[in-house]
Amino acid sequence: MSQPAVMFDGVWKKFRRGERHDSLRDLIPAIARGVLGRRRSNDLQDEEFWAVRDVSFEVQPGQALGIIGPNGAGKSTTLKLLTKILKPTQGRCEVRGRAGALIEVAAGFHPDLTGRENVYLQGAIMGMRRAGIAKHFDEIVDFAGVHEFIDTPVKRYSSGMNARLGFAIAVNLDPEVLIIDEVLSVGDMGFQRRCVQRMREFKRNGVSIVFVSHNLQAVADLCDRTVHLNGTVRCVGPTTDVLDDYLRCDPTASAEAPTTARVSIRAARLTDRAGAPVAEVTPGTDLTLSVTYGVHGPTAGLTFGLILHRSTDGLVVYDANFEPGEIGMTSSAAGEMVVDYRLRANVTRGLYHFECHVFDDATQTFLHRFNPAAKLTVHEERTWSGIADLSITPCGRSIPEQLLTATSGF
């Protein structure tokens, strides 16, 4: 195997809460503590905390690595360590080759310089000569769509303009490694689409990508491997497996049913109509979600719910509720019972998961919630956004020339 383009080896990074050096009076004691204290780097003093702890991963040439996790998990700190904005407390990180980076909106831009001047500044930071930057200048401006404002100081730019220019610089100066943080959180839909398309092109051409995002769908579409980070590495591996781990950490994830519950949910299984397990489908696929219930008492007054969530943002796509009689659960039912919910995946591309629950109408409480009960990835290239698959079939027809002539006066 070739040498990794990005290497993060046992990296730790700590910070001090509220650390500021506003004067020599503050700075000199801090230096003295560092020189005279001679404490080990892995010791924490008062007000210190670990932002990342023992984090390791590699990215091979032509591979895209996603980094996901909750706010405060150390994702942006990791990228700042990769780009040498920060120095690790322990461990080693390395990027081989020219790196194009967008780790914060307007990060690295000098606010008083114009867009043009910042393009040349960023190119110089990336190690490019002025002639090389000039060769790509028009491409950068075209991609960013800031022609009218390229000679305006960037402090006058909106966050979207800053993001567009920053990404355009990162991807148009021949990077060998691309380091991107939440570029899809700003900008219009057209810009976001161009970003994803450009990153896919880079990946095909052998560029290594490190991509931090809360947009799980974008991570699933782009990344071969993913790291679930929460201070330390919770999980690293193929993207589908890591997203499963991330979803299981959701605060609404299922817990054990109370032992006193009249009905509990024991298992769920998603299959195609032939009974084969399924995880990836195209829109409109016929599916069956088989839910196994444990029945321990009367079922009267209970509601059995089935919800489909979009995993990327928790949006409720579909919410159905059934009375016991509708699912064949009689008042005398006891033991174990399987209910097959037959459905059709009339949704657009994305990551989805099912939630099942049993609700007590009298007490207005959940007896049991099972979430995620099953996970589903829908693949298609026709749409960019939206939820419902309308199965549109375009049909063009010609208008006779004489009819065009007859109506031209209107």
What is the average pLDDT across 198-208?
90
List, by residue range, all CATH 2.70.50.60 domains of the chain.
263-378
**374: Cβ–Cβ under 8 A, 6 or more apart, which residues?**
268, 269, 270, 289, 353, 354
pLDDT at 268: 95
The rounded distance, in Å, linking the Cα atoms of 4 and 352 is: 33
What is the average pLDDT across 254-267?
81
| Topology of the domain comprising 6-248 | Rossmann fold (3.40.50)
Helix, strand, coil percent content, the chain, rounded in steps of 5: 30, 35, 40
Confidence of residue 185 (pLDDT cuts 50, 70, 90): low
Of 144-148, 197-201, 245-249, 291-295, which has the strongest mean pLDDT? Answer: 291-295
pLDDT at 105: 54
The rounded distance, in Å, linking the Cα atoms of 132 and 129 is: 5
pLDDT at 81: 92
pLDDT at 169 over 90: no
The rounded distance, in Å, linking the Cα atoms of 21 and 43 is: 22
Residues facing residue 401 across a β-bridge: none
∠ CA 158-160-164, rounded to 5°: 120
Residue bearing the bigger pLDDT, 342 or 46:
342
pLDDT tens-digit readout, 375-399: 898 988 888 778 999 988 898 888 8
pLDDT at 41: 54
**98: Cβ–Cβ under 8 A, 6 or more apart, which residues?**
126, 127, 128, 173, 174, 175, 176, 177
pLDDT at 10 over 50: yes
What is the average pLDDT across 63-88?
90
pLDDT at 281 over 80: yes
Q: Measured between alpha carbons, how far apart are the two ends of the chain, in Å?
A: 69
Percent of the chain with pLDDT over 90: 44
Handedness of CA 38, 85, 234, 265 (dihedral sign): positive
Residue bearing the bigger pLDDT, 1 or 18:
18
pLDDT at 22 over 50: no
Across 38-42, 53-57, 64-68, 137-141, least confident range: 38-42
**108: Cβ–Cβ under 8 A, 6 or more apart, which residues?**
101, 121, 122, 125, 166
pLDDT at 145 over 50: yes
Across 67-76, 156-165, 202-211, least confident range: 156-165
pLDDT at 326 over 70: yes
pLDDT at 18 over 90: no
CATH architecture of 263-378: Distorted Sandwich (2.70)
Handedness of CA 324, 326, 331, 334 (dihedral sign): negative
List, by residue range, all CATH 3.40.50.300 domains of the chain.
6-248
Across 22-36, 214-228, 385-399, least confident range: 22-36
Percent of the chain with pLDDT over 70: 86
pLDDT at 359 over 90: yes
Confidence of residue 173 (pLDDT cuts 50, 70, 90): confident
What is the average pLDDT across 397-402?
78
What is the average pLDDT across 194-206?
87
Residue bearing the bigger pLDDT, 382 or 238:
238
pLDDT at 319 over 70: yes
